[in-house]
Amino acid sequence: MRVLVVEDDAALGPQLREALAGAGYAVDWAADGEEGYFHGETEPYDAVVLDLGLPKLDGLTVLRRWRKAGVAVPVIMLTARGHWHEKVEGIDAGADDYLTKPFRMEELLARVRALIRRAHGHASADLACGLVRVDTRTARVTMDGAQVSLTAHEYRVLVYLMMQKGQVVTRTELTEHIYAQDFERDSNTIQVFIARLRKKLGEGLIVTVRGLGYRMDAG
Amino acid sequence: MSAGRSLHLRLLAAAAVSVTLALAVAGVVLSDLFAGHVRARQERELANHLDQLAAAVEPDASGRPALIRPLSDPRFQRPLSGLYWQVSAGDLAVLRSRSLWDAALALPGDGLTDGDLHVHQTLGPEGAPVIVAERLLRFAGGDDGRFRLAVAEANAELNRAGGEFNRTLALSLVALAGVLVVATAVQVSIGLQPLRRLRSELAEIRAGRRERFELGLAPAEIVPLIGDLNHLLEHSAEVVARARVHAGNLAHGLKTGLAVIGNELDLLDPVAAATLRPRLDDMLRQINHHLGRARAAAAAGLPGWRTEVAPVVVALRRTLLSLYADRPPAITIECSSFLTFAGEKEDLEEVLGNLLDNACKWTAGQIQVSAHTTHDGDDDEGSVGKAASQQQCDTWIKLEIEDDGPGLPEGREAEILNRGVRLDESVPGTGLGLGIVRDLTALYGGRVAFSRSSLGGLKVTVLLPESYQCAAASNFRPPQNWIYPIDIM
């Protein structure tokens, strides 16, 4: 799961990045509206945290341009004033949720989680496939009730596949959704992650669809 | 408006006084002129009669004067007709007109010399005042043949003519004064028309149906004033807008900082964090409260705010359905489309947004919003009626927001309006929402009340001042009364 943070504050930006990364997301941080717009338009994010008061291009304009360009990523906007006027404007511009500053980080993480879940049509914070269960609130993975320890990348691959349960996910798509932008990408490492996941969670969990990618079957 | 302060009455009074004075002077002068003219005419006439008399009086055999032929004017023959003649020798009347009957004209003794014509006021028969013209007549040859010939006419004649003239004159002058005063009134009214229009435009601006004064048809003397007024209006709007931007920037800066501090607190040792967290929350509450008040107070002083209620409710419903997309409630709206709030849009959005958000948090799925006009003294709103007279508002909008949630615990209604108090900590929120509702409602002189809804949950009733119902100015016109069915997903 990959998240874009667009926030100009030099302290809050890194805090958001750390917190989201700590919750298992691959995070990109843009410090102004133009950069944020560019990232959001070119990279496939699973959620965006967008501040409204941004230099160069304000948050609402960024949002409207994304929606106009067909970028459908769920967006949670951060407002300082918290006026309903802003909320109405934000939602009408295409935001999916809002959070008034200052906010508790847990609150933000819960909202981001809920947005991603909603975007994938999941009602519960728990993902399940066979004996494997993932609690996205705590990033805890269990296999038949016993906790399994995963690295951040393995966790992201697992959650992304579980979110798309029953569908084929290409290797490129996986790469795009588990790495932050500044990360050195190597699509071969995906194979390594898949192999490790199969080792930790059982061979039958992830099916390789030859020439296309991977699929996690329902059940 | 007292008489001393009304331009209209002042101008009228000045015109009435000056017209009366001018006409009075004109009346006196005209009356004098006429009297002088009549008198001169009469004197000329008397002189003619005198000449005729002189020609008709001849000495008889004994040297006494005798009338050899009657005078032409028949009035000399009619007793007490008002026209008389008399011939006197010394103080004794020797010959008199028949009209004198048995009276004689009392002629004042004066040094009458040959050829002089003297005119006097004296008393005639029956003591009536007469005007007398007299001259000396000397018969040729006679030493002592000096006679005073006098012709008199009663003043009554003259007075009657003068009186008649004066009556006519007075009537005409009064009529003229009336016409002049009416003309002045019309003139003043036309002259003050631009001021009246200015006043009605001001009323429209206060009612929010107009943004600035119309310059187009104003006379040159008023144009600078209108320009200044427009400038003033723009200036106050700018000041408010600027203050709002500053407040917004301040809020953004402070709250971003608070967010950072709050996040750092989470990384601290929990005991230290526990002492700092409430301080942080308190700071946030203070900022929200005072910024909100400052903004609202700045806006409340401005005339002309006018917000249509229905579009605001619909926009908020759209927003909330999006925010609560996980479990979208059915929000029923019942709102007359021409209902307008006499206040700022953002304030109405705050009040309704917070109440609706609250309803969405607690509802089991059904929310009802209704907005209606209500008048003073409706059902139990007596206390609001009093506030209304101060606010110059006679109609109110009654907003009712109902949900089917758990409702309020008995007797805790007052508590939830307090700033920062939250009755239930389990549902996210800062506890500021209802405090803002209370503050804003109070600012507009309205009221908030809580009761139990027929849906089972909380019913919040808010009264806010209503603006003029001005359908012509409305761009938003769905059917008269429109109801959203329970239709959502």
Shortest CA gap A14–chain B (Å): 10
Q: Tell me, rounded to whole angstroms, the distance of Cα A159 from its chain centroid.
A: 10
Partner residue opposite A88 with nearest CB, options B261, B315, B430: B315
Q: Which helix (H) or strand (E) holds A137?
A: none
Higher-confidence residue of B247 and B384: namely B247
Question: What's the confidence (pLDDT) of residue B142?
Answer: 54
* Chain A residues within an 8 Å CB radius of B315: 88, 92
Partner residue opposite B326 with nearest CB, options A11, A80, A114: A114
Partner residue opposite A12 with nearest CB, options B254, B260, B354: B260
Contact between residue B157 and residue B80 where contact means Cβ atoms under 8 Å apart: no
Give, in order, the Cα–Cα distances in Å from B234 to each of B180, B243, B342.
Answer: 43, 14, 19
Determine the length of chain B.
489
Interchain pair B263, A83: CB under 8 A: no
Contact between residue B300 and residue B244 where contact means Cβ atoms under 8 Å apart: no
Partner residue opposite B256 with nearest CB, options A9, A91, A118: A9
CA-to-CA distance for B97 and B83, rounded, in angstroms? 9
Shortest CA gap B284–chain A (Å): 8
Question: B68-117 pLDDT, tens per residue?
Answer: 888 888 888 888 888 898 888 877 888 888 888 888 888 877 677 777 78
Shortest CA gap B441–chain A (Å): 16
Quickly list H helices, chain A.
Answer: 12-22, 33-42, 59-68, 84-93, 105-119, 152-163, 171-178, 188-201
Put simply, the chain B residues between 402 and 441 with a CB less than 8 A from any chain A CB are 428, 430
Instruction: Find the closest chain B residue to A94 by CA distance.
Output: B322
CA-to-CA distance for B76 and B88, rounded, in angstroms? 17
Q: Which two tokens stand for residue A184?
A: 């050195």
CA-to-CA distance for A41 and A52, rounded, in angstroms? 17
Strand partners, B57: B67
* Chain A residues within an 8 Å CB radius of B263: 12, 15, 19, 105
Is this model's pTM higher than 0.90 or not? no
Question: What's the confidence (pLDDT) of residue A119?
Answer: 83
Q: Which two tokens stand for residue B483?
A: 């109801």
Which 8-state DSSP code applies to residue B466? B
B143 phi, psi to nearest 5 deg: -75, -45
Interchain pair A84, B325: CB under 8 A: no
Grade residue B300 by pLDDT with cuts at 50, 70 and 90: low
Question: B131-148 pLDDT, tens per residue?
Answer: 888 888 777 655 566 788
Q: Among A92-96, B218-222, B265-269, B425-429, where is mean pLDDT lowest? A: B425-429
Which 8-state DSSP code applies to residue B106? -
Percent of chain B with pLDDT over 90: 7
* Chain A residues within an 8 Å CB radius of B283: none
ipTM of the complex: 0.73
Grade residue B474 by pLDDT with cuts at 50, 70 and 90: very low
B369 phi, psi to nearest 5 deg: -120, 130
